[in-house]
Amino acid sequence: MSILDIRNLTIELETENGPVRVLDRFNLQLAEGEIHTLVGESGSGKSLLAKAILGFINPRWKITADRLWWRHYDLLALNNAQRRIVTGRDMAMIFQDPSTYLDPNDKVGAQLRETIPVGDLTGIYLKRRADRQTRAERLLHRVGIKDTKEVMESYPHELSEGLAQKISIAMAIAHNPKLLIADEPTTAMEPNTRSQIYRLLAKLSGGQGMSILMITQDLTAVVPESQHISLIYCGQLMESGPTEQVMQSPLHPYTEAMLSMSLFSQNKAPQTRLPTLSGAIPTLQHMPIGCRLGPRCPYARSACVVKPELARKQQQDYSCHYPLWEDPEHD
């Protein structure tokens, strides 16, 4: 059962050259307690998708969907005030740069105590103050920080990047959200620090039932515990399915090319020769018609000027007229 269910979500922006679909009939389903990784190159529409889920929507954008449901809420049917209540209660987001969350002029402890929801506190003034402190310490334990006193007394610039990211996660989860959107939370981190953050996210999802949408540009940055993966290119869903299955037997030429790029970036030669994409990502003003990968796809033919419907093979959804398993020329 999906806790987040997005079907055919389209976001259309006005540009100098007329309207452009920055998300083009995009689909995504996220189950409770699951990590779902969304992979796409810069400008593919990942942040816009996050904004559409969170309701940070510019009134000039034209948004349509067959379904944009969060739990039992039809998000597009809610007014702004209702939407803010649902988002504020159920959702949170963390970013690549934890300083987005942290005030450089204030000690970490004070900032953490501020994030504790008032409704969670008991008693009157002095008791509430102590309660805030206890809950802030508990939050730090929850994100795997043991030395709570020293961290609470530090200023953000005194923290390592891993520690700062853990604090930003602690602040984001203070109100116990059911959905955490993590936008490139480990980019540019040392491998060790990256693994620590991965372990923490895995603990929050599997152990504590939080659903996590991980956003990344890079297939090498997929959390090992991620159950599902979706690949987006120029606002269109290319492929989606169980992470291991998609990584081992991709059905879409885009997934194959991204895998090939990630193997090269890890200095591992692929077992067989995998194609990479020629050309560059098109600009908003020059979006190809049909499958937007077409002009760069090594397997494209004339049918690709029509956007392929989403098809399914053994739990893998793909949007391609010539999926890899069907065409002997792909071998």
Q: Does 42 bind ligand ATP (CB under 6 A)?
A: yes
Q: Which one of 30, 35, 48, 94 is in contact with ligand ATP (CB under 6 A)?
A: 48
Q: Which one of 45, 98, 109, 162 is in contact with ligand ATP (CB under 6 A)?
A: 45
Closest CA to 71 of 90, 51, 84: 90
DSSP character for 239?
A: E
Token representation of residue 251: 């059905």
Give least dist CB 263 to ligand ATP, A: 21
Which CB, 31 or 284, lies closer to ligand ATP? 284
- Kindly indicate which of the ranges 44-52, 64-72, 137-145, 172-180 contains the residues binding ligand ATP, using the contact rule CB under 6 A: 44-52
- Which string of DSSP letters, residue by residue, matches 74-98? EGGGS-HHHHHHHHHHHEEEE-SSG
Which CB, 42 or 266, lies closer to ligand ATP? 42
Give least dist CB 14 to ligand ATP, A: 8
Closest CA to 24 of 32, 13, 33: 13
Give least dist CB 38 to ligand ATP, A: 9
Which CB, 263 or 284, lies closer to ligand ATP? 284
Q: Does 248 bind ligand ATP (CB under 6 A)?
A: no
Closest CA to 163 of 185, 193, 192: 193
Q: Does 156 bind ligand ATP (CB under 6 A)?
A: no
Cβ-in-10-Å burial (0-12, 13-18, 19+) of 172 comes to buried
Which CB, 156 or 235, lies closer to ligand ATP? 235
- Kindly indicate which of the ranges 46-54, 104-112, 147-155, 302-310 contains the residues binding ligand ATP, using the contact rule CB under 6 A: 46-54
CA dist 261 and 277 (Å) reads: 9
Residues in contact with ligand ATP, total (CB under 6 A)? 13
CA dist 112 and 116 (Å) reads: 7
Considering only residues 209-238, where is the footprint of ligand ATP by CB under 6 A?
217
Amino acid symbol at 234: C
Q: Does 310 bind ligand ATP (CB under 6 A)?
A: no
- Planar angle of CA 132, 128, 137, nearest 5 degrees: 20
Q: Does 40 bind ligand ATP (CB under 6 A)?
A: yes
Q: Which residues contact 106 (CB under 8 A, 6 or more apart)?
A: 155
Q: Does 22 bind ligand ATP (CB under 6 A)?
A: yes
Residues that bind ligand ATP (CB under 6 A): 13, 22, 40, 42-48, 58, 217, 284
